[in-house]
Copies of this chain bind each other. A is one copy, B any other.
Amino acid sequence: MTKKNYTLKEIAQLAEVSRGTVDRVLHKRGRVSEEAQKRVEKILKEIDYKPNLFAKSLKTHKNYTICALIPEDSEGEYWQQCAKGVQKAEEELRQFGISISYVRYVSTLKEFKTKLTEAIEQIPDAFLIVPIFHEPLKDLYRKAEDLKKPIALINSEVESLEPVTFLGQAYKKSGKIAAQLMGYLTPPQQDKQLLVMHLGIKSGHASHLTEKEDGFRSYFAAHHPYVTIKTISSTSIEDFVDTDFDLSHIAGIYVTTSKIHQLEGILKKHPHIQAIGYDLTAKNTTCLKNGTVKMLLNQNPELQGHQGITSLSELLLYSKSIPKRNLLRVDIVVAENLDEFS
């Protein structure tokens, strides 16, 4: 039951060699006679040797730097929350020699490229990246792979590039969850009409949004096929307001981005519309509190940042293998449990 933790010294005694020899066998540094090699390996097989991490870290006390490339954002907003999680992880891991180099960028392609280059030039021991743009990353990949620096990606996967770990959500399922909740919120009726809105998307990299839509639609197709679902994409809510879209028959709106707060005015005019959106930003939580938005799905950016750093740290410190994809839970948030998420 209680496994003993053997030390190098004990193994050396058992194999009747010196500490140095055992060490050489373990680290495959050669200079060991066949006979000694065999004896040590035999002992090593019998016992499950695990080096004492305390002693190891104490000795090799390396200071690892992880470069975190995260979009600039204002206090309380999505990426700021993510950065907060990174900071929290940094505090916890500081004593283990982990430090973070923060590189924030405003969301333009040019800036992203500049900052990415900047990040690479720092030659950190690992990267944590929120890839709003995908093209420039391929360059990093080539360089990082040459240097064997691990990369963690947050929020969106980049096609054809394999990060060490990906932190994000199961987006299709996220859509299904939203759909079930929407089903509960809206009264059952034959001609129910719903709206899926991709609000405020900038670039073409929005596959995770369409995945959410797929999930949303597939739920209703399976459970309530009579429901009509329309989709609207628009960078700005103004484009939408200008059209004479008739909202009187719409029972609910599902916004796949964090911009549901832009609908506040519309929802006030049409209180019968049930609205579900994403993310606990300041503006969104206001809507949740005043009842214009019924539910928000929290994608846990803080946890994403936190886990990204801890995963990379475990890799650096203990060479611990980490999961390829770390799909985090989506929290269902209503007004009454909002304060549990602060």
Spell out A's residues near B (CB within 8 Å): 2-3, 5, 50, 52-55, 57-58, 61, 94-97, 99, 173, 176-177, 179-181, 184-185, 187, 219, 294, 329-337, 340-341
Contact = CB atoms under 8 A, between A and B. Distances in A.
Contacts of A57: 54
A184 B341 CA distance: 21
Per assembly, the copies of the chain total 2
25 contacts: A3-B94, A5-B95, A5-B97, A52-B58, A53-B95, A54-B54, A54-B55, A54-B58, A54-B61, A54-B95, A54-B96, A173-B337, A176-B336, A177-B334, A177-B337, A180-B334, A180-B335, A184-B294, A329-B337, A329-B340, A329-B341, A330-B340, A331-B331, A332-B333, A332-B337
B330 A52 contact: no
A194 to B, nearest CB: 16
A294 B180 CA distance: 10
B329 A180 contact: no
Contacts of A3: 94
A94 B3 CA distance: 9
Given A53-B54, A53-B95, A54-B96, 17 more contacts: A3-B94, A5-B95, A52-B58, A52-B95, A54-B55, A58-B58, A173-B336, A173-B340, A176-B336, A177-B336, A180-B335, A184-B185, A184-B294, A219-B336, A332-B333, A332-B334, A332-B337
A333 B329 CA distance: 11
Interface majority SS on A: helix, strand, loop or mixed? helix
B50 A95 contact: yes
6 closest Cβ pairs, A-B complex? A332-B332, A54-B58, A180-B336, A177-B336, A54-B54, A329-B340
A213 B219 CA distance: 33
A88 to B, nearest CB: 15
Nearest to A219: B336
A220 B102 CA distance: 46
Contact of A337 (B54, B330, B333): B330
A94 B180 contact: no
A177 to B, nearest CB: 4
A169 to B, nearest CB: 9
Contacts of A341: 329
Contacts of A55: 54, 58
A329 B300 CA distance: 13
Most buried by B among A52, A54, A94, A219: A54
Contacts of A180: 334-336
Contacts of A97: 5
A341 B3 CA distance: 29
Contacts of A61: 54
A55 B61 CA distance: 11
Contacts of A340: 173, 329-330
Most buried by B among A176, A181, A331, A336: A336
A96 to B, nearest CB: 8
